Amino acid sequence: MEPSPPSASVTPKGPGIIVSAEFLRFFIVIFILGSLFLGVPYGLRLYRNSWAAPKLHPDTALTGEWVGILKPPSRPAPPDLSPSPFIAESDRQEAIRELRQQKQDDFDNVRAIFVSTSLDPFHIASASLRGSATMCGRDGKLISYAFTTNRVSNAGMSLILYNDTQSQFGNLDATLHEGVLAADYHGFEPYLLGDLRRGSRQDFEQACASLTASARQSAQ
């Protein structure tokens, strides 16, 4: 009798993940619906809200990088402080000292500012920006801020700037007109006004260097 051939051994396979066609179709449908849910509002914003898309609306978009100089508002013309029989000399000298101090404070409180804004992807359905701001004074010291959006529209934006580590904060309100942001800053710092234009971090650093140089010249 001939020996029977050995039977082929079957090696059991380990457990595997079996994806059914129904589950795959369900996953694809959910992915498409989710993309539409997020993408449609985002797309509408880009086309309907000019503040949101610099490539589509380069002249009216608020997103991007802005650089400017903020100064205290102009003061009214000083009174005539020449010697007069109608004012005591001590009062006149005190008024002169106060006027000199005001001029020095206005000089010292000038700030260069750099603001970088972009769309907040986590707030697609609402008008919101994200980014940061940096200021410097004549002393060359940089102060960095985070911000939250108080208000944003095609007319301009209002940002709440804050700095946790240095306990500094303020509101930056800016109105857009012909590609220029007319801004005012108020809060922890003195009330400041100025125009912000499209620029880069390098432009901001040059503005800071210019402020520092002017302070050195004034001290000489």
Span 201-214, pLDDT tens digits: 999 999 999 999 99
Looking at the structure, do residues 133 and 190 belong to the same domain, yes or no?
yes
**Regarding predicted confidence, which is higher, 153 or 44?**
153
Looking at the structure, do residues 34 and 141 belong to the same domain, yes or no?
no
Q: Is residue 198 part of a domain?
A: yes
Q: Is residue 112 part of a domain?
A: yes
Q: Which token pair is 143?
A: 């102060």
Whole-number Cα distances in Å, 220 to 100, 206, 214, 215, 217: 17, 22, 10, 9, 5
Is residue 119 within 8 A of residue 147, CB to CB? The reply is no
Looking at the structure, do residues 114 and 209 belong to the same domain, yes or no?
yes
- Map residue 14 onto helix, strand or coil: coil
Q: How confident is the model at residue 80 (pLDDT cuts 50, 70, 90)?
A: confident
Looking at the structure, do residues 148 and 193 belong to the same domain, yes or no?
yes
Residue 155 has pLDDT above 60, yes or no: yes
Domains of the chain: total: 2
**Regarding predicted confidence, which is higher, 27 or 85?**
85
- Write out pLDDT tens, residues 4-60: 555 544 445 544 455 577 777 777 777 777 666 666 666 666 666 778 777 777 788
**Which structural domain, as residue segments, surrounds residue 156?**
64-219
Looking at the structure, do residues 106 and 148 belong to the same domain, yes or no?
yes
Looking at the structure, do residues 83 and 38 belong to the same domain, yes or no?
no
Looking at the structure, do residues 127 and 25 belong to the same domain, yes or no?
no
